Structure 1
């Protein structure tokens, strides 16, 4: 009986999963394998929020597989070693894996391929399992590197030309979920708990993980709120985004299926939402081509970053004295998630208003975001800091202007900053301007920086 291994990584689903589909098509019996990777924990990527969400995802994946006659096989240890052991003990001729884009994923794939080949087995890598369009599928024809005309030799360095090509590219046809999964006899460790994956408590309002929850949220989103996305996606208080990012990060949803479902709805809301999925693919193709962009400036600006420990601590704790920044940072701690517009303005505040190294902010976000994705997190931070792919690298998002535009009556601020709950209307964004007695009654800090002085300092230091 032919056996293959489907090695799950960031594709924790059975619907439209090329890895599982390929393994089932090739063999009569399949080992759906997940390895609790000791390397991830040692590298510091295991955090309480993502650990709790991952535990949910794995429990749900196991339940979905059991409903089809199978089960999830769990091992703990080094991924290459454990995968090879499973392949040897089951006599599997091949291992199927989704292509990753990080340097870590590339090294894992290389080592796994070599180890399997030494034992006479094959590694089959599925390129478009984690994105709508495979990271290396769109290569610009123009010359030059990242700074020339927005094009690199091996990837697009500017979003707009990439998006035009992305929309023209034929998408992979979606794959049906298998009706049955037959698993050979093989030992499995128990499903991991959140505590076994990472120490510490998760954010109290973390969403439930797993494909079942993901598909439920997708149905609700596509059937109604999606239509208004173009008009409302920046509304901080309205919370009118899909909140699908954690499920996309863990692969509980196929991004290709999500894009197709959105376009079936038609209209400006669907187009605007699909454009955001293209941004996700864009960042994946950049990181696949430039893995060091996870920690090095994609476009160096020779910044002389400041490091004021008190200012950075105030930013982390949501005590900057700028209510919309503080509301966003507190939402992050409470939910393990932050509205996209809030991510932009808090990142701009740290990197440009405080002129602190973007890597400090990126690490903090990765420590708390349940959707903390290396490609999207690091490259969005670089975009905001002006060291990445932004064609206007010296733009500064003014937190007051952003607040008045995207939270005009202050509802978002009052939700997350209880000290200001009694301040009505847009005045909540400038509590330092309240009359003396009213200001004195608020247990809320003064601004830690003057915005005009900070903007002038940034322009002077950046040399713009």
Structure 2
């Protein structure tokens, strides 16, 4: 019996999984393998929220495989070493894996290829598994990647993605493939109390519900903070429990302005991946330097992290992050702009905190969105500053989002409606009774400081 290995990474699903289908096509039996890579921990990316969500995903994947006669093989250690051990124990000649864009993934792929080839085995890397179009699938003339989203999207939109694959009906796994125990969410400490559950079944059901009652209004409501009208599918895209290719196909089939707006967001995800693939250093260095001399203000950074800046919409967003391991997209823009431009603190400080807590903490999306907001990335208006009061009045006009996450303001009758965004305007006696800080910075002062720092004045 011939054997191949399907090495799962950020594609923890059975539906539309080219890696698993190719591994099955190559051999009589397949080893569905996931390695809990010690390199992820060593690099500081094994955050509790993602570890807990991953545990859900692996349990769900194992259940789906068992329903088809198979099982998930889980190992722990160095991904290259463990994959080679499984290949040797089962006699597998071929290993299949999804391509990825991070420097970590590229190093893992190179090491794995070298180790397998040295032992007479082969590595097959599959594009367009974790994205719709592979990085480099569309490029501008004479360049290796698009640096601006709009022309990228025009090309992206005109391409035909690969066909969506059905889930396998049966999976045959060799008995010689030994597995460790599946991790459990309950074993992970310091998890956000309202972290959403993970797994392919959960992701598919969430997408089904959202397409039935949410996507049609997405174009008009995706920035509505209290309405919470986004899909919340980003964790499932990060772990690959949902296929971006399938989401695009099903959204285009549905049609309408909301579905088109959702597809555009998936294109942004691909855009960031092709930027990072071409410029790996953008994960830690300015994509386009502005020669910033960032302030080192730990007091301000701590207030920002803790949701104690004195600006309610910023504080609500930061508390949502800690409570749920997730944050509304509009809120991500506001908090990033506030840290990098109003406080003029290095974008890497914010990006690191987001990666510590976000269940969808993806290097390409996180780092490049932070750079976009900081003005060091692909934004064609690098010096724009989002005023938190103006944004709050527009996207949380009645203060529902703030009251949801800042309970000390929700309990104050004098802060009904939109007044909750300016608690410093309360009479002195009522203000003193609040356990809520004064604004950490005057917005005008912060704007002026930023403009001077960037040489705009």
What secondary structure, in the 3-state scheme, does the structure 2 residue paired with 1:330 have? helix
CA RMSD of aligned residues (A): 0.9
Q: Corresponding residue for 1:92?
A: 92
Structure 1 residue 84, shift from structure 2 partner? 0.8
Q: Corresponding residue for 2:60?
A: 60
Q: Corresponding residue for 1:43?
A: 43
What is the CA deviation profile of residues 82-115 of structure 1, one whole-angstrom value per residue up to 9, with x for unaligned ones? 1011111111110000001000000110111111
Q: Corresponding residue for 1:344?
A: 333
1:367-406, aligned counterparts within 5 Å?
367-406=356-395
Q: Corresponding residue for 2:274?
A: 285
Does the 8 A contact of 1:227 with 1:265 survive in 2? no
Structure 1 residue 223, shift from structure 2 partner? 1.3
What secondary structure, in the 3-state scheme, does the structure 1 residue paired with 2:5 have? strand
TM-score by length of 1: 0.96
Unaligned runs of 5+ in 2: none
Structure 1 residue 294, shift from structure 2 partner? 0.4
State the alpha-carbon separation in 2 of the partners of residues 84 and 105 from structure 1: 17
Q: Corresponding residue for 1:444?
A: 436
State the alpha-carbon separation in 1 of the partners of residues 191 and 65 from structure 2: 27
Q: Corresponding residue for 1:456?
A: 448
Structure 1 residue 200, shift from structure 2 partner? 2.9
Structure 1 residue 47, shift from structure 2 partner? 0.9
Q: Corresponding residue for 2:402?
A: 413
What secondary structure, in the 3-state scheme, does the structure 1 residue paired with 2:334 have? helix
Q: Corresponding residue for 1:147?
A: none
Structure 1 residue 342, shift from structure 2 partner? 0.1
1:298-317, aligned counterparts within 5 Å?
298-317=287-306
What is the CA deviation profile of residues 390-425 of structure 1, one whole-angstrom value per residue up to 9, with x for unaligned ones? 000000000000100000010100111111112201
Q: Corresponding residue for 1:106?
A: 106
Q: From 165, 171, 175, give the equivalent of 2:161.
A: 171
State the alpha-carbon separation in 2 of the partners of residues 463 and 71 from structure 1: 60
Structure 1 residue 135, shift from structure 2 partner? 1.3
What secondary structure, in the 3-state scheme, does the structure 2 residue paired with 1:223 have? helix
What secondary structure, in the 3-state scheme, does the structure 1 residue paired with 2:129 have? coil
Structure 1 residue 195, shift from structure 2 partner? 6.7
What secondary structure, in the 3-state scheme, does the structure 2 residue paired with 1:97 have? strand
Q: Corresponding residue for 1:123?
A: 123
Does the 8 A contact of 1:222 with 1:261 survive in 2? no
Query: How many equivalent residue pairs?
Result: 452
Unaligned runs of 5+ in 1: 144-152
State the alpha-carbon separation in 2 of the partners of residues 224 and 415 from structure 1: 22
Does the 8 A contact of 1:295 with 1:378 survive in 2? yes
Whether 2:209 is the aligned partner of 1:217: answer no
TM-score by length of 2: 0.98
Does the 8 A contact of 1:366 with 1:373 survive in 2? yes
Q: Corresponding residue for 1:189?
A: 180
Structure 1 residue 442, shift from structure 2 partner? 1.7
Whether 2:250 is the aligned partner of 1:250: answer no
What secondary structure, in the 3-state scheme, does the structure 2 residue paired with 1:95 have? strand
Q: From 331, 334, 349, give the equivalent of 2:323.
A: 334
Structure 1 residue 30, shift from structure 2 partner? 0.1
